[in-house]
Structure 1
Amino acid sequence: MSILDLNSKAAIVTGAGQGIGRQLALTLAAHGAKVVVNDYFLERATQVAREIVDAGGQAIAVQADVTDLNGVRAMMRRTVDEFGTLDVLVNNAGNEGANPSSAPPKPFWETSPEDWQRWLGVNLFGVIACVTAATPFMVKQQSGRLITIISDAGRVGESGIEVYSGGKAGAAGFMRAVARTLGRYNITANCVAIAATLTPTIAPVIEAQPPETTKRQLERYVIRRFGRPEDISGLVTLLASDSSSWMTGQTYPVNGGFSFAM
């Protein structure tokens, strides 16, 4: 029996229409989970759900904005109506949300609350909304797995993306507090901290930059390459499984050695 067997657990993955979220949804389904593929854009979620079903898995697509608590609550209810339980929530939606700005970045001291909201909305408030909406179902069934994808920027800080770093750090602190509150109900809460990963958003930027820039960036990684979505999905699957039942309140780096932690 595989230690990563998810045994028909119902799992929601937010922001799963592309990139890391897509890979997380595919991997969880491959290990037996029934997956709710969430995205702000329904057509993206539908495509990923179709991939899962075509491969023999179970999945549905659900459109929801993670910063909209009412919409998120409706997604949780639909999950339970469709699959009978809500066992795993993976908060993957991040970055600037569904509609990132194309404006050149400015020093943080020249930004406004409107600029901050783009980063804090999905990365912090979205995590709080999703966990808030999922918790009553998990408490009722006395079990659950809450997993949030953060960034090494939230662990060690990153120049140029200060508010994003703060949002991710805030999400990690929230998850630690949630772990203390919900442990008595056999609900675990953990974070996975990632570094630069070749997603459809990041890969074109790296490909377009001068080779010497890429070389300098990779010098910060002990394993001299950027991450791939499949690098993250293994640990998330472990945290979603019964094998992680005594692991909670932690942040686990998956970062190619960009930073170290005890």
Structure 2
Amino acid sequence: MEPHAARPLEGRLALVTGAGQGVGRGIASCLAAAGATVAVNDLAPTRADAVAAEIRDAGGDAFGLAFDVTDADAAQTAVGDLEIDILVNNAGVPPGGGRPNRFAQMPPEDWQLQIDLNLAALMRLAQLVIPGQAERGWGRIIQISSGASSRGLAIGVAAYGAAKAGGEALIRHLGVEYGPEGITANSLALGLMEGVGRAGDPAVDRLIRGVPIGRLGRPQEVGEACVWLASEAGGLVNAQVIHLNGGTVFGR
């Protein structure tokens, strides 16, 4: 289907992981507003279904697709028969937010979880969607990454940063390997986003003072960047890491 200028993703099917809240919700809403049908993934079916219903109420097209992205069998069952044109790999924070810890004191199961969620899940989903994209001659893969991938931070997120950096490396290779088949792959490395704490909290205020534009990022801004990368207008961008951080160097 030829996309309309006001709805550049008309006729495309997008999968957004971790889209039941926060940044993922913003991404799913923006892709739907741009004309895509959105498969809203979340670990919790109630969250996935609620966001899908919210999108439909706004005039978009979406359905809930709850599964654990770290579960290979669940991912295959959920995604295997879908013709996914746009994969936005957003799920990246473990239930409960994970446990920040200095690396030498970090239990192996904690850093393994970060690898499973932020690297292996991306690899798995990319393997599931790329063959169909290549057959159709068009596809978009977008990793939601973090500034923690490119700068060392003394806040206990070494494993998270390492896993995100691995995902960015994978994206670069995918873009080069599959660009000739009409598929682009890019990463959006986020800075500090809304939701890191309560407004007026002194700790949050200190973080905001470190952002040159004087505020935190908004989920819709990430969503609009995803729309651009997924559209024909963003088709020249491939195998890149783009930092959305207001000029700050701090991680998400």
Normalised by the length of structure 1, the TM-score is 0.88
Structure 2's unaligned 5+ residue stretches are none
Residue in structure 2 matched with residue 176 of structure 1 by the alignment = 172
For residues 45 and 228 of structure 2, the distance between their equivalents in structure 1, rounded to whole angstroms, comes to 28
Q: Secondary structure at the match of 1:79?
A: coil
The question of 1:8 aligning with 2:11 is answered yes
What CA RMSD, in Å, does the superposition of the two structures yield over aligned residues?
1.9
Q: Which amino acid aligns with 1:88?
A: I
For residues 213 and 184 of structure 2, the distance between their equivalents in structure 1, rounded to whole angstroms, comes to 30
* Aligned 8 A contact 1:73 1:134 in 2: no
Q: How far did 1:31 drift?
A: 0.8
Identity of aligned residues (%): 35
For residues 206 and 171 of structure 1, the distance between their equivalents in structure 2, rounded to whole angstroms, comes to 30
Residue in structure 2 matched with residue 107 of structure 1 by the alignment = 102
The question of 1:20 aligning with 2:23 is answered yes
* Aligned 8 A contact 1:152 1:195 in 2: yes
For residues 205 and 58 of structure 2, the distance between their equivalents in structure 1, rounded to whole angstroms, comes to 38
* Aligned 8 A contact 1:68 1:129 in 2: no
For residues 185 and 242 of structure 1, the distance between their equivalents in structure 2, rounded to whole angstroms, comes to 15
For residues 208 and 167 of structure 1, the distance between their equivalents in structure 2, rounded to whole angstroms, comes to 32
The question of 1:61 aligning with 2:64 is answered yes
Q: How far did 1:225 drift?
A: 0.9
Residue in structure 2 matched with residue 39 of structure 1 by the alignment = 42
Q: Which amino acid aligns with 1:33?
A: A
Q: Secondary structure at the match of 2:40?
A: strand
* Aligned 8 A contact 1:14 1:37 in 2: yes
Q: How far did 1:78 drift?
A: 4.3
* Aligned 8 A contact 1:3 1:241 in 2: no
Structure 1's unaligned 5+ residue stretches are 81-85
Residue in structure 2 matched with residue 157 of structure 1 by the alignment = 152
Residue in structure 1 matched with residue 226 of structure 2 by the alignment = 236
Alignment of 1:183-222 (within 5 A): 183-199=179-195, 202=196, 205-207=197-199, 209=201, 211=202, 213-222=203-212
Residue in structure 1 matched with residue 114 of structure 2 by the alignment = 119
Q: How many pairs were matched up?
A: 246
Taking a change above 3 Å as real, the CA distance of residues 221 and 149 of structure 1, as seen in their structure-2 partners, is same
For residues 145 and 159 of structure 1, the distance between their equivalents in structure 2, rounded to whole angstroms, comes to 34
Q: How far did 1:207 drift?
A: 3.9
Residue in structure 1 matched with residue 239 of structure 2 by the alignment = 249
For residues 184 and 3 of structure 1, the distance between their equivalents in structure 2, rounded to whole angstroms, comes to 27
For residues 207 and 148 of structure 2, the distance between their equivalents in structure 1, rounded to whole angstroms, comes to 14
Q: Which amino acid aligns with 1:93?
A: A
Residue in structure 1 matched with residue 86 of structure 2 by the alignment = 88
